[in-house]
Amino acid sequence: MTQGSYKQFCPVAMAAEILCTRWTMVLLREMLAGSTRFNDLRRGVPRMSPALLSQRLKELEQWGVVKRVKGGEGGLYEYHLTTAGQELQPVIEHFGCWGQRWIESKVSLDNLDVQLLMWDMRRSLDLKPMPRKRSTIQFQYTDAPSGQRTWWLVVAPGNDTDLCSLNPGFDIDLYVSSDLKTMTAIWMGMETVRHAVNSGCMKLVGDKQLASNMQTWLGLSPFAKEKRMVA
């Protein structure tokens, strides 16, 4: 919504006034995914300016969708969804499923974003098939903007997974290298690790075990299972 109210009593119109402002649905998706801190939200919505993020959070708070609370430790602020906000989960989910089904994949694969991809991947890793020790996996994107070519995921049982854009200095258990489009396609469920490796688009070097079950420990996008309806 660019300007003003629709002045319509219809609930669809009223909901649209709240939800259809720029970045709002994307922000809510990140909140529903679990981010609560300002800078975590920034990482999940990298192209949104901090000024606008701050403004949107305030608006959503006014609408009763978000609540700003002092976090337990350190007294840092956190943004939580209210009950009304949590009930947006099916709305966002339908949005995403519809997008996955009906928006051409080549359009999706034109909108690559390393930082967002890594941030999303970090969240969905499945630790169960991984070794029960700390593992460090290095991702190298041949075609990413300089300064964003190399990333590290440090996975340790019991801890939150760390995403680093600077070398954390640990021994690397697995080196993954591919172009950004390939990794994104895998994440979106349009491609598989096996096929990407066989076709030479992806290279895995290091721990055999980690390499062979990468498709398993690498969780996919929440929408990856939705069947695509268009080429």
Nearest 5°: the CA angle 46, 50, 54 is 120
* Binding of residue 62 to its own copies (CB under 8 A): no
- Per DSSP, the residues of 200-218 read TSEEEEE-HHHHHTHHHHS
Q: Which of 35, 152, 184, 210 binds its own copies (CB under 8 A)?
A: 184
Judged by beta carbon distances under 5 to 8 A according to partner kind, the member of DNA, its own copies, none in contact with residue 52 is DNA
How many residues touch its own copies (CB under 8 A)? Answer: 62
Judged by beta carbon distances under 5 to 8 A according to partner kind, the member of DNA, its own copies, none in contact with residue 225 is none
Which residues in 44-83 contact DNA (CB under 7 A)?
47-52, 54, 68, 76-77, 79
In this chain, which stretch among 110-118, 144-152, 167-175, 199-207 interacts with its own copies, using CB under 8 A?
A: 110-118
Cβ of residue 153: shortest distance to its own copies, in angstroms? 19
Q: Which of 59, 61, 78, 96 binds its own copies (CB under 8 A)?
A: 96
* Binding of residue 100 to its own copies (CB under 8 A): yes
Judged by beta carbon distances under 5 to 8 A according to partner kind, the member of its own copies, DNA, none in contact with residue 91 is its own copies
For the chain, give percent helix, strand, coil, nearest 5: 40, 15, 45
Which residues in 126-155 contact its own copies (CB under 8 A)?
none
Q: The dihedral of CA 206, 207, 210, 211: what is its sign? A: positive
* Binding of residue 37 to DNA (CB under 7 A): yes
If you ran DSSP here, which 8-state letter would residue 113 be given? -
Token pair belonging to 215:
């498709």
From CA 146, how far away is CA 156, in angstroms rounded? 28
Query: What is the Cα 205 distance to its own chain's centre?
Result: 25
Judged by beta carbon distances under 5 to 8 A according to partner kind, the member of its own copies, DNA, none in contact with residue 5 is its own copies
Judged by beta carbon distances under 5 to 8 A according to partner kind, the member of DNA, its own copies, none in contact with residue 170 is none
Cβ of residue 97: shortest distance to its own copies, in angstroms? 7
Edge to edge, what strands does the sheet with 202-206 contain? 162-164, 150-155, 135-141, 174-178, 202-206
From CA 47, how far away is CA 28, in angstroms rounded? 15
In this chain, which stretch among 24-32, 34-42, 69-77, 160-168 interacts with its own copies, using CB under 8 A?
A: 24-32
Q: Which of 39, 89, 199, 212 binds DNA (CB under 7 A)?
A: 39
Token pair belonging to 68:
């700003």
Largest CA distance in the chain: 61
If you ran DSSP here, which 8-state letter would residue 125 be given? -
For DNA, the binding residues (CB under 7 A) are 1-4, 21-23, 37-40, 47-52, 54, 68, 76-77, 79
